[in-house]
Amino acid sequence: MSYLDLITSPTLLLDEKICRANIKRMADKAARHDMKLVPHFKTAQSHQIGGWAKQYNITEVTVSSVKMAEYLSGQGWVNIHIAFPFNPLEIPKLNKIAEKQSISVQVINATTAQMLVDQLENPVGFFIEIDAGYGRTGVEVSDFGLIEEILLIAQKSDKLNFKGFYLHAGHSYYMPDIPALYEQTRNALSMLKHKYNSEYPKLVTRTGDTPGCAVMEDFGDIDEMGPGNFVFYDLMQAELGGCDKEDIAVCLAVPVVDIKKDRKEILVHGGGVHLAKDVLVGENGLKNFGEVVYLNENGWSIPEEKSFLKSISQEHGIIKASDELLAKVKVGDILGILPVHSCMTADCMGEYMTLDGKMVDHAEGSLEK
Amino acid sequence: MSYLDLITSPTLLLDEKICRANIKRMADKAARHDMKLVPHFKTAQSHQIGGWAKQYNITEVTVSSVKMAEYLSGQGWVNIHIAFPFNPLEIPKLNKIAEKQSISVQVINATTAQMLVDQLENPVGFFIEIDAGYGRTGVEVSDFGLIEEILLIAQKSDKLNFKGFYLHAGHSYYMPDIPALYEQTRNALSMLKHKYNSEYPKLVTRTGDTPGCAVMEDFGDIDEMGPGNFVFYDLMQAELGGCDKEDIAVCLAVPVVDIKKDRKEILVHGGGVHLAKDVLVGENGLKNFGEVVYLNENGWSIPEEKSFLKSISQEHGIIKASDELLAKVKVGDILGILPVHSCMTADCMGEYMTLDGKMVDHAEGSLEK
């Protein structure tokens, strides 16, 4: 019996072989550059996929919320890092996790540093997040006043321990010239390392984004990398050149419910609540919410002629179909959709099905709760 | 103790008073027009909110998936209608639900009609969905050949019972002239009713969209209305003129984690996994992923000067803040965000908190599972 016989409604498929190859490739790359790989598990959010990662010498993970840290704690991780500017209202939850799990947080202002100093009950590490041009979060790289204010506050406590500097150059998703942008990242982290190294000889520097980690070969003296999306990849990463479409490890299986041959459109059950609403806009101005792959007993294949989701609403997806697809599709068939943004799709779906029909857990689902 | 003392991470607040007022207003409107209100519960997806609706003489609901129908079945609904072109792979699940719950589906092609006739084990109603110009789903209003083909197939079975015509004029979300569009809807449904009335004297016509149901006063001879979003409303509906911002019954409570006074930006924990990524684009080209309200012990108030989420990623939200807000906000505060698309936000969050700090169930959460 094939996994295909088990699918009757939208289901997120996970090709374990592709996923493991993605993890191995990044682990090999990190090793080649003498860097530690600390993957961001906001993408996979899974105990089981964490188990696969451990087989490639990955010992620590990153998450983006306390809730995700709670889910992954107690799974044997040497450390879990919460790579989101810490929310002081969650110090009680942090104290609880830190009783049994080595954990670190991200600090970018004095208020939060002081609240941690005042309220921490167990040792917790912290990174200072640095903004070297992305503009989303972090201390501006030249704001030594703020960096030193945070460090001074932390020194008042033996529970809040400085680990180093973290930089997520998320503008690699928007700017075509990743090498130029990485020079910024390398220079910022290297400058900070040398400036604070004598005072904190164990400090490390870490860089975050998948496009950069996938594309770059020169990481300078950066110590650690923390990409997330690479575990699955997606169409956005393929467009940025970080992967091929063949490297995408997840696809949403969607049932075909109607076909309009005259309009070359196929209606599927698969919309915003399954895929999320991330979108690519082509040079022609056409929106693309995901691309069709053909499912078979061993996984999926990418068609020569492209068919794609041209619009989605809450549950509906409308595929602009190639002639090839139109010629063979029937109501009641199941198609695969490669997602635009796999982290969001996985979060919407809350579980995965592998190609042998087994379910894999995700923090948002109920499989291991 | 206030509900505010219970919030430490992103939480979807529900103001029961506003929600009940929205339900009552639409129920009164339906009664005034001698129409039956069958609300679309893809928005609320809740047993408890269903209980509130029943207090306003609502006896039937609509859903957009078999999964949602499973969740709401056995809750005393006279009928549950699945307003999504039926996916024949789910006939076994439908058979199971129909053992104990009166249920109806939507049919738009002969293949699905035939599969239902072949496989149904219990009586199920069906609507033919009509497309009178929206272009998403349904049988084109002039395609009598297809309508009659479906009706003929259904006549072969005593289990598949024709109930009438359903029309979702979803282009009311994009086209400014709702009255013109409603003429299309009224005319299409009226024509079909008169054409098939002699053969099916009990057939009813139903129209779906919230903007139309909220704005229009002339429904012609349409029998039933099935809006969904009106239960909560949101910024998109306010922009379309279907409600005031004061009618929006849900808001996402988000913790403030950083403030950049110089950029007039506030970083909150609240992103795409909480709000979904629906967006309004202003005349100035600025994106708006949600608008700030001030939380207080009794709910929330809308500021005079607007502050809004200018960008979101998976967990991050960046607010473009008014001077008024900047003058009083602190790290560790909680702000409210009115969502752009409340159906999607509720689906992401999977539960609600009322203003007395109680949790309300949603099909995607685990409260009543």
Q: What is the ipTM of this complex?
A: 0.94
- B318 near A CB under 8 A: yes
Strands B250-260 and B334-338 come out as antiparallel
Q: At what angle do helices A110-119 and A144-155 cross, to 10 degrees?
A: 10
- Only one residue has tokens 């979101």, namely B312
Q: What is the mean pLDDT of residues A132-158?
A: 93
Where does the pLDDT of residue B288 fall: very low under 50, low under 70, confident under 90, or very high at 90 and above?
Answer: very high
- A347 near B CB under 8 A: yes
CA-CA distance, B341 to B318, in Å (whole number)?
Answer: 18
Q: Pseudo-torsion of CA A232, A234, A238, A242, nearest 10°? A: -40
Where does the pLDDT of residue B184 fall: very low under 50, low under 70, confident under 90, or very high at 90 and above?
Answer: confident
Cβ neighbours of A89 in B, within 8 Å? 7-9, 255, 332, 334
Closest listed residue to residue B308, CA positions, set B346, B246, B354, B254: B254
Segment A56-99, tens digit of pLDDT: 999 999 999 999 999 999 999 999 999 999 999 999 999 999 99
**Hey, which residues 42-61 in chain B have their CB within 8 Å of chain A?**
42
**In this complex, do B257 and A67 lie within 8 Å of one another by their Cβ atoms?**
no
DSSP state of A302: -
A174 or B315, which is more confident: B315
Report CA A89 to chain centroid distance, whole Å: 25
Closest listed residue to residue B322, CA positions, set B302, B338, B340: B302
pLDDT for B369 equals: 57
- A64 near B CB under 8 A: yes
Where does the pLDDT of residue A318 fall: very low under 50, low under 70, confident under 90, or very high at 90 and above?
Answer: very high
**Hey, which residues 10-39 in chain A have their CB within 8 Å of chain B?**
none
Nearest-CB residue to B9 (from A90, A344, A347): A90
> Residue A133 contacts by C-beta under 8 Å, 6 or more apart in sequence?
A169, A171, A181, A184
- B259 near A CB under 8 A: yes
CB B225 within 8 Å of CB B35:
yes
CB atoms within 10 A of CB B40: 25
Question: In terms of residues, how long is chain B?
Answer: 369
Give CA angle at B356 (B297, B26), nearest 5°: 100
Residue B84 has pLDDT above 90, yes or no: yes
Q: For the residues of A106-162, what is the DSSP string, one character each? A: EE-SHHHHHHHHHH--S-EEEEEEEESS--SSSEETT-HHHHHHHHHHHHT-SSEEE
Q: State phi, psi for B305 to the nearest 5 degrees.
A: -90, 130
CA-CA distance, A5 to A369, in Å (whole number)?
Answer: 27
Q: What is the mean pLDDT of residues A231-248?
A: 95
Residue B368 has pLDDT above 80, yes or no: no
**In this complex, do A9 and B87 lie within 8 Å of one another by their Cβ atoms?**
yes
Chain A, nearest residue to B278 by Cα:
A277
Would you give the end-to-end CA distance of chain B in angstroms? 28
pLDDT for B307 equals: 98
Strands A139-140 and A124-131 come out as parallel
**In this complex, do A255 and B89 lie within 8 Å of one another by their Cβ atoms?**
yes
Strands A60-63 and A79-85 come out as parallel
Smallest CA–CA separation between B90 and chain A, in Å?
Answer: 6
3-state secondary structure of B321: coil
- A316 near B CB under 8 A: yes
3-state secondary structure of A221: coil
Give CA angle at A127 (A123, A133), nearest 5°: 165
Mean pLDDT over the full length of chain B: 95
CB atoms within 10 A of CB A352: 27
Mutate to test the interface with B, among A7, A9, A65, A89 (most CBs of B within 10 A): A89
DSSP state of A104: E
- Only one residue has tokens 């995607």, namely B364
- Only one residue has tokens 């509130």, namely B52
Mutate to test the interface with A, among B84, B257, B277, B340 (most CBs of A within 10 A): B257
Segment B50-78, tens digit of pLDDT: 999 999 999 999 999 999 999 999 999 99
Note the helical H segments in B210-276: 210-215, 235-240, 272-275
Q: Which two tokens stand for residue B227?
A: 């809006």
- Only one residue has tokens 């919230």, namely B210
CA-CA distance, B292 to B322, in Å (whole number)?
Answer: 10
* The domains spanning A3-12+249-361 and A33-233 adopt the same CATH topology: no
Amino acid at B167: L
- B258 near A CB under 8 A: yes
Q: For the residues of B159-228, what is the DSSP string, one character each? A: SEEEEEEEE--GGGGT-S-HHHHHHHHHHHHHHHHHHHTTT-TT-EEEE--HHHHHH-S--TT--EE---
> Residue B70 contacts by C-beta under 8 Å, 6 or more apart in sequence?
B93, B97
**In this complex, do B87 and A137 lie within 8 Å of one another by their Cβ atoms?**
no
Would you give the end-to-end CA distance of chain A in angstroms? 28
**In this complex, do A111 and B330 lie within 8 Å of one another by their Cβ atoms?**
yes
**Number of Cβ pairs closer than 8 Å across A and B?**
144
Segment A114-140, tens digit of pLDDT: 999 999 999 999 999 999 887 788 999
> Residue A107 contacts by C-beta under 8 Å, 6 or more apart in sequence?
A85, A86, A113, A116, A126, A127, A128, A129, A150, A154
Closest listed residue to residue A365, CA positions, set A355, A352, A351: A351
CA-CA distance, A287 to A248, in Å (whole number)?
Answer: 20
- Only one residue has tokens 């204010």, namely A149
Nearest-CB residue to B273 (from A315, A347, A366): A347
CB A108 within 8 Å of CB A137:
yes
Superfamily for domain range A3-12+249-361: D-serine dehydratase-like domain (2.40.37.20)
Mean pLDDT over the full length of chain A: 95
**In this complex, do A313 and B89 lie within 8 Å of one another by their Cβ atoms?**
no
Partners of B311 in the β-ladder: B318
CA-CA distance, B218 to B68, in Å (whole number)?
Answer: 31
DSSP state of B138: S
What CATH architecture does domain B3-12+244-361 belong to?
Beta Barrel (2.40)
Segment B204-257, tens digit of pLDDT: 999 978 888 888 889 999 999 999 999 999 999 999 888 999 999 999 999 999
**Is B33-231 a domain of CATH 3.20.20.10?**
yes
Q: What is the mean pLDDT of residues A265-289?
A: 95
3-state secondary structure of A24: helix
Residue A369 has pLDDT above 70, yes or no: no
Q: What is the mean pLDDT of residues B309-325?
A: 96
Note the helical H segments in chain B: 16-32, 47-54, 66-72, 91-98, 110-119, 144-155, 178-196, 210-215, 235-240, 272-275, 323-328, 342-349
Q: State phi, psi for A233 to the nearest 5 degrees.
A: 55, 180
Distances in whole angstroms, Cα of residue B91 to Cα of each of B79, B87, B98, B114, B116: 17, 8, 10, 12, 7
Nearest-CB residue to B88 (from A42, A311, A331): A331
**In this complex, do A90 and B170 lie within 8 Å of one another by their Cβ atoms?**
no
CA-CA distance, A255 to A10, in Å (whole number)?
Answer: 7
Nearest-CB residue to A278 (from B89, B277, B343): B277
**In this complex, do B92 and A332 lie within 8 Å of one another by their Cβ atoms?**
no
**Poorest-pLDDT segment among A76-90, B91-105, B126-140, B337-351:** B126-140
CA-CA distance, A316 to A325, in Å (whole number)?
Answer: 19
Nearest-CB residue to B9 (from A9, A67, A115): A67
What CATH architecture does domain A33-233 belong to?
Alpha-Beta Barrel (3.20)
Q: How many helices (H) and strands (E) in chain A?
A: 12, 21
- Which H/E stretch holds residue A272? helix A272-275
Q: Burial-class residue A149 by CB neighbours within 10 Å (0-12, 13-18, 19+).
A: middle
- Only one residue has tokens 């990409």, namely A227
Cβ neighbours of A84 in B, within 8 Å? 257, 269, 315-316
Chain A, nearest residue to B265 by Cα:
A136
Nearest-CB residue to A314 (from B67, B267, B343): B343
Domain ranges of chain A: 3-12+249-361, 33-233
> Residue B1 contacts by C-beta under 8 Å, 6 or more apart in sequence?
B357
